């Protein structure tokens, strides 16, 4: 009789420990998910640009914006809530002297491209997804331009957040 009783107690104890282990593991997973920024987003952006002949004194500047979502969660950009994903091309000032510093957001905007156009106002980045958006700009030969790709969530709101990358390209004469 004592052996049967001991077996029942051991069985009940193991079931109780299994339930406790499941609860602790679930709490730990929620804690790690919360610490990992379960609602945060991150987007690694890079730009590649090349200049090709077009006609006369005009050149095509081909810009590839590479975006990678390194996180294990998806996030969306929605134009309905003020999200933006855009590409800006600015003229770099040619009248600066030696040791001058030029801000990437200075200069005349020559062109803008909405990288969310054609998506219905919704752009989704799946976990670990890599995207490549390409736009072409016709620009005059000899210009030096600053190209900026920017992602902004909730533009103009208190929780606005953004990420951008820039590069400078000389639109060669030949």
pLDDT classification of 4: cutoffs 50, 70, 90: confident
Question: Do both 149 and 72 map to the same domain?
Answer: yes
Domain CATH code at residue 125:
2.60.40.1470
Domain that holds residue 17: 1-38
Residues 57 and 9 in one domain: no
Q: How many domains does the chain have?
A: 2
Is residue 36 predicted with pLDDT exceeding 70?
Answer: no
Assess whether 145 and 124 both reside in one domain. Answer: yes
Same domain, 2 and 84: no
Q: 9 with 73, same domain?
A: no
| In a shared domain, residues 161 and 133 | yes
One domain for residues 80 and 160: yes
Q: Are residues 136 and 79 in the same domain?
A: yes
Top-confidence residue, 111 or 74 = 111
In percent, how much of the chain has pLDDT > 70?
94
122 and 136 together in one domain: yes
Residues 77 and 139 in one domain: yes
Give the tens place of pLDDT for each residue, 125-165. 898 889 999 999 999 999 999 999 999 887 877 777 888 99
Are 20 and 58 in a shared domain?
A: no
User: Do 18 and 62 fall within a single domain?
Assistant: no
Summarised one tens digit per residue, pLDDT across range 70-104 is 887 888 888 888 889 999 999 988 877 788 788 77
Long-range Cβ pairs for the range 124-128 (8 Å, 24+) = 124/74, 124/75, 124/76, 124/77, 125/41, 125/43, 125/67, 125/69, 125/74, 125/75, 125/76, 125/77, 126/69, 126/74, 127/69, 127/71, 127/72, 127/73, 127/74, 128/68, 128/69, 128/70, 128/71, 128/72
């Amino acid at each position: 009789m004592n052996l049967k009783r001991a077996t029942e107690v051991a069985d009940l104890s193991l079931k109780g420990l299994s339930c406790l282990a499941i609860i602790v593991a679930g709490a730990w997973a929620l804690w790690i998910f919360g610490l990992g920024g379960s609602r945060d987003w991150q987007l690694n952006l890079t730009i590649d640009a090349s200049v090709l002949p077009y006609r006369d004194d005009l050149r095509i500047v081909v810009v590839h914006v590479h975006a990678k979502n390194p996180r294990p969660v998806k996030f969306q950009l929605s134009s309905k809530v003020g999200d933006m994903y855009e590409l800006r091309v600015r003229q770099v000032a040619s009248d600066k002297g030696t040791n001058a510093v030029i801000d990437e957001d200075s200069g005349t905007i020559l062109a803008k491209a909405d990288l969310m156009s054609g998506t219905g106002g919704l752009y989704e980045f799946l976990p670990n997804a890599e995207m490549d958006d390409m736009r072409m700009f016709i620009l005059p030969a000899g210009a030096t331009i600053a190209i900026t790709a920017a992602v902004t969530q909730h533009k103009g709101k208190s929780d606005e957040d953004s990420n951008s990358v820039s590069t400078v390209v000389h639109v060669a004469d030949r």
